Amino acid sequence: MNKLLYTILISLFSLTIISCSKKSGSSTTTTDTTEPVISEVTAVIAPTISEITQTIGNDGYYNGSFVVPNDGISYLLSTFLDDNSLVGFYSLTDPDGINILSSSSTPNLYYTASGSYGAYGYANVLVPQSPSFSAKAGTWTFKNYANDRVNLTLRSGTAPTSATIVVQPYITGTTWVAGDLSAALSVMSSIYSANGITLSINSTITISDSQYAAVSGTFTNTTTSALVSQGSITAVNLFFIEDYYGSWSGVLGNAAGIPGSMGIANAWNGVLNSLTAHASGTTLDAQLLGETAAHEMGHHLGLFHTTEQGGTEFDIISDTAECPKSSRDNNSNGKMSAEECEGYGGENLMFWTTWSSSSRSEGNKQETLSSYQQQVLKYSPIAK
Distance CA 377, CA 188 (A): 14
34: number of CA atoms within 13 Å, CB side? Answer: 10
- Shortest distance, CB of residue 221 to Ca ion, whole angstroms? 32
Q: What does residue 212 show for φ and ψ, rounded to 5 degrees?
A: -100, 5
The residue sitting closest to Ca ion, measured at its beta carbon, is 320
Q: Which of the stretches 96-104, 175-183, 290-298, 327-335 binds Ca ion when contact is defined by CB under 5 A?
A: 327-335
Please count the other Cβ atoms lying within 10 Å of the Cβ belonging to residue 161.
8
Q: Is the dihedral of CA 94, 96, 102, 107 positive or negative?
A: negative
Transcribe 347-384 into DSSP letters. Answer: TBTT-SBPPPHHHHHTT----B--HHHHHHHHT-TT--
Nearer to Ca ion, 203 or 331 (CB): 331
Q: Closest Cα partner for 266 from 79, 69, 41?
A: 79
- Please, what is the minimum distance in Å from the beta carbon of residue 310 to Ca ion? 10
CA–CA gap between residue 37 and residue 381 (Å, rounded): 14
Q: Which is nearer to Ca ion, 108 or 320 (CB)?
A: 320
DSSP β-bridge partners for residue 170: 205, 239
Burial class of 362 by CB neighbour count within 10 A (0 to 12, 13 to 18, 19+): exposed
Q: How far is the CB of 329 from Ca ion (least distance, A)?
A: 4
Q: Which among 218, 287, 230 has a CA at the least distance from the CA of 21?
A: 218
Q: Which is nearer to Ca ion, 94 or 340 (CB)?
A: 340
Interacting span for Ca ion (CB under 5 A) from 210-218, 253-261, 319-327, 352-360: 319-327
Interface with Ca ion includes 320 (CB under 5 A)?
A: yes
In the complex, what is the shortest distance from the CB of residue 300 to Ca ion, in angstroms, rounded to a whole number? 19
Binding span for Ca ion by CB under 5 A among 150-158, 197-205, 284-292, 334-342: 334-342
329 binds Ca ion (CB under 5 A): yes
Distances (CA, A) of 323 to 191, 333, 343, 346, 373: 22, 14, 9, 8, 17
Query: Interface with Ca ion by CB under 5 A: which range of 22-30, 135-143, 313-321, 348-356?
Result: 313-321
Least distance (Å) between residue 32 CB and Ca ion: 38
Q: How many whole angstroms from its chain centre is CA 214?
A: 22
Residues 267-306, one symbol each (x = binds Ca ion by CB under 5 A, - = not), give ----------------------------------------
CB of 26 to Ca ion, least distance (A): 18
State which residue, 326 or 331, has the beta carbon closest to Ca ion: 331
Q: How far is the CB of 249 from Ca ion (least distance, A)?
A: 24
| Contact pick of 104, 331, 358, 361 for Ca ion (by CB under 5 A) | 331
* Binding segment toward Ca ion, per CB under 5 A, in 154-162, 169-177, 279-287, 316-324: 316-324
Selected from 294, 317, 341, 377, the binder of Ca ion by CB under 5 A is: 317
Judged by beta carbon, residue 70 or residue 106, the one nearer Ca ion is 106
For residues 54-73, b (16+ Cβ closer than 10 Å) or e, as one string?
beeeeeebbbbbbebeeebb
Q: How many residues bind Ca ion (CB under 5 A)?
A: 8
Q: Where are the alpha helices (DSSP H) in the chain?
A: 3-11, 114-117, 182-194, 222-228, 286-300, 325-328, 357-361, 371-378
Least Å distance, CB 77 to Ca ion, is 24
Question: 313: which residues sit within 8 A by CB, 6+ positions away?
Answer: 307
The least distance separating Ca ion from the CB of residue 315, rounded to whole angstroms, comes to: 5
Between 185 and 369, whose beta carbon lies closer to Ca ion? 369
Interface ranges with Ca ion (CB under 5 A): 314-315, 317, 320, 329, 331, 333, 335
